[in-house]
Amino acid sequence: MLEHSVVPAGAWLARPARRLGIRTVRDLLYHLPRKYADLTRLFTFFEIWHAAGVIGTAVSVRATVREIHVEPTFRRRVERTVASIHDGTGDATAVWFGRRFIEKKLKPGDSVVLSGKVKVRGSALVIDNPEFQLDTGGELLHAGRIVPVYRTTSGLTPARLRTAIHDALDLYADAIDEYLPSAVAREAGVVGIAQALRAVHFPEDDAGMEAALHRLAFDELLALQLGMVMRRRSLARESAARVQVRPAADRSIRDAIVEALRGRVGADVDLTADQSEAMTTIAEGLAGRRPMVRLLQGDVGSGKTAVAAYALAAVALDGGQAALLAPTDLLARQHAVTVTSLIGSLFPTDEDRPAVQLLSGSMRGKEADAARARIRDGDVGIVVGTHALISESVDFRRLRLAVIDEQHRFGVAQRAALEAKATEGAPHLLLMTATPIPRTLGQVFYADLDVSDLRTPPAGRVPIRTGIKRPDDLDSTWAWVRRQAADGRRTFVVVPHIGDADPEASDAEGPGPADDAVAATAEAERLAVLLAPLRVGLVHGRMKAADRDAVMARFRDGDLDVLVGTTVVEVGVDVPEATMMIVEGADRFGLAQLHQLRGRVGRGTVESYCVLVSDAADGTTAFARLAAIRATRDGFLLAEEDFRLRKEGDVLGFDQSGLPRLRVASLQDESHRDLAVRARAVAEDLVDEAGDLRLPLTARLAAELRGGWLARIAAGDPDETTGSA
């Protein structure tokens, strides 16, 4: 019944709502608030003037309209609507910019309730762009209550969206099916879903709001845990081709890797204890009858590629095929070169049979056909590629291991498409990430994976000196960039995401890649003049992948001295000659992201530098986070510190972590961590040994997990685009 088109709010809602992913009444009801404004108290104008700390904040007032008119502004084609209002204790002015329609909605004598930020201009009180509602004795939606704040889009004002959701609740709340089994709801101590949706959108008090959020958080965590338990039990029933890593092969692979590393950075280099232990553990997993599913979690520069090369070589030497999937063409080519340098000496090669076969989307014609033929016929044991590996035109002869680099860049369906190419049972799976996850989060999000940590940096890594500078104090920094360029060294300059530092702070959709591209372009143009005659390049997310890779390749090859970009440079080509990373607006980034950006330099044998540019004041949380980056290069410690410092929001930049986006639950909330433990216990009971939900008890829950608001979380898909409560 809830799959109707969005009709209760009127036809005006449909088109802009689709931009928010809202196509049905169900979608509308599950478009949850991202935060709340407590506008319960109605102030008088006298109180606003005389109560401490009120001016400059958002308030609710009840007043009568004296007069309303539209007048021009200094901006061309922009008018403002001005209403004179009074409440018996004083007067004020309400001003709306670019919203002429309000003149038709309000008339002198109307009683209204308004909410907005109150300011003093001259000797008068002014409320800028307030939301308002005619005071007719009905339920207040936009002021005088706890007001839900939603993510909106152009053509859909907060008030209109709020009204649409209220109308939908009135019409359809009773048709919302309860999908939690009653015993589970009682055990978890949560309210019904219909009650939760009413209270999450229009809470009568804090207790009702908290109960609603508690229910929705439990549902998210249960969906997450069900997905993990189902995948783990299904996997336990599958068989995999066993890979024998005999002692002689183990020694030869390790010796080849060490010899290659010593040839690159020095005779004293050896495998770290973490690398050696990970290799041993991976060999044991490959030899098992059940598919290995292991996460290799390594800090920046910790040597993950060497461990992956060990696994790839072990499979190939045993007669199988192993594939490494990378997110970009440039990174795939880099991996192909690196893996070949590490273990290529172990395999006989000729012009028609490389030790490592590359297959990427940029390969065309005979080159691509020949690569696919070698893979299909089993002539190559190690394959490195991009999404091209999962296309229908690619067949493996005996795929036994899939290695997924930067695993957060791939959805569940993409990983499954590669795994489906195995013909000898389920393939072993090695996931790699350079974004360490805090221990508390890992216990919940990665409970179905075995994890290997690489914490110790390999010998030969040059320390990176990190400093914090203000935007108006960069003259010496740019002078140092010039000196570095004169010595043949290169500099990254990263611009921040455009918009509020809090990505949830705007009522509108907010800026997107186009805004960031404009900012990066402007900065590249500015620096091209400021740093002339240095050669300045530009990369950003709006560029075609091939064009972006071409610019990065020019930077790598020394055709550019400075590369300006957005965070697309976070995962990129190794440039040993890059010795400076300048991050503008550094307080707008998560700690893990800053750590990743810093890891773009310090890859050669020359001392490198990272400059964090910010106007954050000493003593603020933003400055404390930057100070944490300055104080340590340990990504695991930084992950824990970020988790500690952030009261709310996107911990570690989870859009970068590969974890499913949770809209309500937050593991920084101790009560939600307890909920996660309870959800895990419930999931263990609801899933049978085959990895399926126990029916008919869970039929409605199964339907919700397949096609409801919990579907993405249950699938473990990080591509969650909706806002968070």
Handedness of CA 43, 47, 53, 55 (dihedral sign): positive
The Cα 478–Cα 472 span in angstroms is: 12
Looking at CATH, the fold of the domain delimited by 247-454 is given as: Rossmann fold (3.40.50)
At 482-541, the pLDDT tens digits run: 999 999 999 999 998 654 333 333 333 344 445 677 888 999 999 999 999 999 999 987
Confidence of residue 267 (pLDDT cuts 50, 70, 90): low
The Cα 399–Cα 382 span in angstroms is: 9
The Cα 218–Cα 202 span in angstroms is: 20
Confidence of residue 9 (pLDDT cuts 50, 70, 90): very low
Q: Per the structure block, which two tokens stand in for 162?
A: 């709020």
Among 1.10.10.10, 2.40.50.140, 3.90.1150.10, 3.30.70.2190, name the CATH number for the domain at 41-144.
2.40.50.140
Residue ranges of E strands in 566-646: 578-583, 608-613
pLDDT of residue 649: 38
Name the residue type at position 675.
L
pTM: 0.74
Q: Half-sphere exposure of residue 688, counting CA atoms within 13 Å on the CB side?
A: 8
> Hunting for tokens 């183990």 — which residue is that?
250
The least confident of 31-35, 231-235, 486-490 is: 231-235
Name the residue type at position 662.
L
Q: Half-sphere exposure of residue 41, counting CA atoms within 13 Å on the CB side?
A: 9
Name the residue type at position 684.
E
Q: Which residue has the higher pLDDT, 456 or 381?
A: 381
**124-134/111-121 β-pairing:** antiparallel
pLDDT of residue 508: 37
The Cα 588–Cα 614 span in angstroms is: 9
What torsion do the CA atoms of 394, 396, 400, 405 make, to the nearest 10 degrees? -30
At 693-705, the pLDDT tens digits run: 988 878 999 999 9
Q: Per the structure block, which two tokens stand in for 287?
A: 């030899």
pLDDT of residue 724: 32
* DSSP state string for 615-650: -PPTTSHHHHHHHHHHH---HHHHHHHHHHH-SSS-
Would you kindly state where each structural domain of the chain is located, as residue ranges?
A: 41-144, 206-237+675-715, 247-454, 464-632
3-class DSSP state for residue 542? coil
The Cα 665–Cα 724 span in angstroms is: 9
The least confident of 330-344, 373-387, 400-414, 419-433 is: 400-414
Residue 156 has pLDDT above 70, yes or no: yes
Beta bridge pairs of residue 390: none
At 580-617, the pLDDT tens digits run: 999 999 998 878 788 888 988 987 778 899 999 999 99
96 Cα distance to chain centroid: 35
pLDDT of residue 5: 55
* DSSP state string for 260-280: HHHHHH-TT----HHHHHHHH
3-state helix, strand, coil in the chain (%, to 5): 40, 20, 40
Return the DSSP state at 4: S
Q: Do domains 41-144 and 247-454 have the same CATH topology?
A: no
Return the DSSP state at 299: -
Residue 38 neighbours by CB distance under 10 Å: 12
**Domain covering 464-632 assigned CATH 3.40.50.300 in the classification:** yes
> Hunting for tokens 């889009």 — which residue is that?
153
